[in-house]
Amino acid sequence: MPHSALIDRQPAANLSLAPPNPLVSKLQRFVRLDEEEAATLERMTASSRMLPAEHVLFHEDSRPEHVCVILSGMAYRYKLLLGGRRQILGYLIPGDVCDTHFVLFNQPDHCLALAGDSLVARVPIRTIGIAAGRYPRIERALMLSALLDLAILREWLLNIGQRNAVQRLGHFLCELHFRAHAVGLVACDGSVAMPLNQCALADAIGQTPVHVNRTLQRLRRDDLICLRQRRLTILDHARLAEESGFDPQYLRALHMCD
């Protein structure tokens, strides 16, 4: 998709059969939202844009005026190092909000870019602030969402610091599936979108693309996963979780409303 194809999407008529708004279904994991709150969130994200893969949403030295909400596709946070090394610090799937919190500082301390073409809503910081001020449940949901990010970050540190290649990768894939599942993004055949290529995967788990490739082959050979054409299927959840030490406890915030 060429860079110029940034078409404004028309807000869809809100039919009762309309697909659920990703932001609403994400925040519903944390608090029960009433009609009015849901409508507010839908209005906030009604205007969105399809942006191409690798598009940079904000930069380390920028002063964003907007908060981004991913509606489809995927985004990833990263930091660059002198010498071209890159660490991916986390990824956002539909419904996820890029930190509302760099509001408080003047600058973010990392970058955010898209992995695969994605639909992105940009909400002015003030608008978010007003909604949070008016609806305490929305404020709480955003807070919990930030805390979940924190919990994920801690688990990633554990993952990179203490586990070997197979476990790291397995853990990463388990988490992706779990998070996608929580917001209803698992297809009926059990597959989930996986727009990250092997280089990005490598930068996410602190390894080289070559090694990621070999580790993937190993997971495939052991019939644990199937990953092709940017879609991931976990063939044996129990065994993959077992082998990679994945315990979804750290993601329990996603089940607060069950």
Binding site for a copy of itself (CB under 8 A): 77, 79, 81-82, 85-87, 89, 99, 101, 104-105, 109-110, 140, 143-144, 146-147, 149-151, 153-158, 160-163, 203, 205-206, 245, 249-250, 252-253
Going by the DSSP 8-state scheme, the letter that residue 21 receives in this structure is P
Which partner in DNA, a copy of itself, none is near 58 (CB below 5 to 8 A by kind)? none
Q: How far is the CB of 204 from a copy of itself (least distance, A)?
A: 8
Instruction: Decide if residue 214 touches DNA (CB under 7 A).
Output: yes
Q: Write out the binding residues for DNA, residues 184-213 only, by CB under 7 A.
A: 197-199, 206-211, 213
Q: Mark residues 154-183: x for contact with DNA by CB under 7 A, - for none.
A: ----------xxx-----------------
Give dist(CA 32, CA 136) in Å, integer: 11
Q: Is the dihedral of CA 137, 24, 143, 258 positive or negative?
A: positive
Going by the DSSP 8-state scheme, the letter that residue 22 receives in this structure is H
Phi-psi region of 13 (alpha: psi -120 to 50; beta: other; left: phi over 0): beta
What count of other Cβ atoms lies within 10 Å of the Cβ of residue 176? 20
| CB closer to DNA out of 66 and 231 | 231
| CB closer to a copy of itself out of 20 and 248 | 248
In 3-state terms, what secondary structure has residue 142? helix
Half-sphere exposure of 158 (CA within 13 A, CB side): 13
Q: How far is the CB of 236 from DNA (least distance, A)?
A: 19
Which partner in DNA, a copy of itself, none is near 222 (CB below 5 to 8 A by kind)? none
Are the CB atoms for 251 and 175 separated by under 8 Å?
Answer: yes
In 3-state terms, what secondary structure has residue 206? coil
Amino acid identity of 169? L
| CB closer to DNA out of 52 and 190 | 52
Which partner in a copy of itself, DNA, none is near 197 (CB below 5 to 8 A by kind)? DNA
Going by the DSSP 8-state scheme, the letter that residue 82 receives in this structure is T
Q: How far is the CB of 245 from DNA (least distance, A)?
A: 13
User: For residues 143, 145, 150 and 154, what is the CA-based torsion angle, rounded to 10 degrees?
Assistant: 150
Which partner in DNA, a copy of itself, none is near 116 (CB below 5 to 8 A by kind)? none
Give dist(CA 145, CA 140) in Å, integer: 8
Q: Mark residues 221-250: x for contact with DNA by CB under 7 A, - for none.
A: --------x---------------------
Phi, psi of 19 (to 5 degrees): -65, 145
Question: Which residues of the chain form contacts with DNA (CB under 7 A)?
Answer: 2, 164-166, 197-199, 206-211, 213-214, 216-217, 229
